[in-house]
Structure 1
Amino acid sequence: MKKLTSFSILILLMAFSFLKAQKISDGQTIDINGLSVTFNILNKESITVSGKDFDRYKVSAKLVNNSQKSYTVRLSNAPQIVTNTSLVELNCINATGAKLTSKKIDLKLKAQNVNVTYWAYTKDGKYQSFVIPIVAGYYLDGGDSVSDDAIFIVPKGEAPNVNVRSLQ
């Protein structure tokens, strides 16, 4: 009974998260809490996969922070793994994912890199300095933008059916 209740709550939460999704089409811009999301189809071609015909779309998504709010994730000085820096997700409902193509696009925060100098011995025994870039955090300031491209394969004759939702 406890497993059934937990499973029901999980399904309910997933349903509510999809209710917040909005449909977006080619060339359209949607505002989500001050974040402007634009979706564009760059290229279309017909392909055959395993004897079936499909349409292959190269698409692009762009997010612009039009709010006065800055998004920042600061990393601690200990090793830290950050798994979710996404602000917005564009999900192509009718994408097949065939041939290692995408079903969604995640628009993420920008990485803030810092160059660190450290000293170490080389193979020759020489003490030498090295510079290595590390990720110190993630950010998206007001007016900043991020973009990403993907390839969606959809059934022949269909256009990509894309929903956009905020992950914040």
Structure 2
Amino acid sequence: MLLAWNAQGQSAIDLSEDKPTVSNGIEFSYMVRNERNEESYSRYEVSVTAQNKSGCMLIYFKKAGEELNSIFEGDPSAIARFECVNATGKRLTSKGANVKAKPFFVPYTNNGTTTKVEGGYLLKNGSRVSADLIVIVPKGERPKFKVRPQDFVDVVE
């Protein structure tokens, strides 16, 4: 079974540190890899992750002229957008990051010549994608994240 998704974002889901949350068969989580407390702020190195636990391959088919919701920064491969709700963005650090599906290619034949063209993006069952970011939060606080996943709407057998 395959699930195809469109480019709409769901409402944000609150995440708890080191406690995965599942939505539409995708497990979302974040983990603090390193932390440092400075005089006026706390700096964290964080990994954000999405893992397909749906039992299906998740596929997004590219569509010509498709506009993506701005929360995904126009990236058609984005599975979800993680946002640190208490990040300051100071000192050239992030407030959020996208996790992205891998592109897949399909054969295309023209005048007897076959080439591979990008058909869309996929996340195989059991596959995990992640991104690393650095966030600065007010001193004494831990980073707090929300995730805004792509909305999976069509089921294809």
TM-score, normalised to structure 2, is 0.68
Counterpart of 1:97, as a letter, is G
> 5+ residue gaps in structure 1?
1-16, 115-132
Q: Does 1:47 align with 2:38?
A: yes
Distance 2:129 2:103 in 1: 11
The answer to which structure has the higher helix fraction is 1
Q: Any idea what SS the aligned residue of 2:91 has?
A: helix
Q: 2:6 matched to which residue of 1? A: none
Higher CA-based Rg? 1
Q: 1:68 matched to which residue of 2? A: 55
Deviations 1:83-105 (A, max 9, x none): 33212222111101112211112
Q: 1:120 matched to which residue of 2? A: none
Match of 1:38 among 26, 29, 42: 29
TM-score, normalised to structure 1, is 0.64
1:74-153 equivalence runs, <5 A: 74=61, 83-112=75-104, 137-153=120-136
Q: Any idea what SS the aligned residue of 2:98 has?
A: strand
Q: Identity of counterpart residues, as a percentage? A: 32
Q: Which has the higher contact order (CA 8 A, sep 6+)?
A: 2
The answer to which structure has the higher strand fraction is 2
Q: Does 1:58 align with 2:68?
A: no
Q: 1:22 matched to which residue of 2? A: 13
Q: Which runs of 4+ in 1 moved over 6 A?
A: none
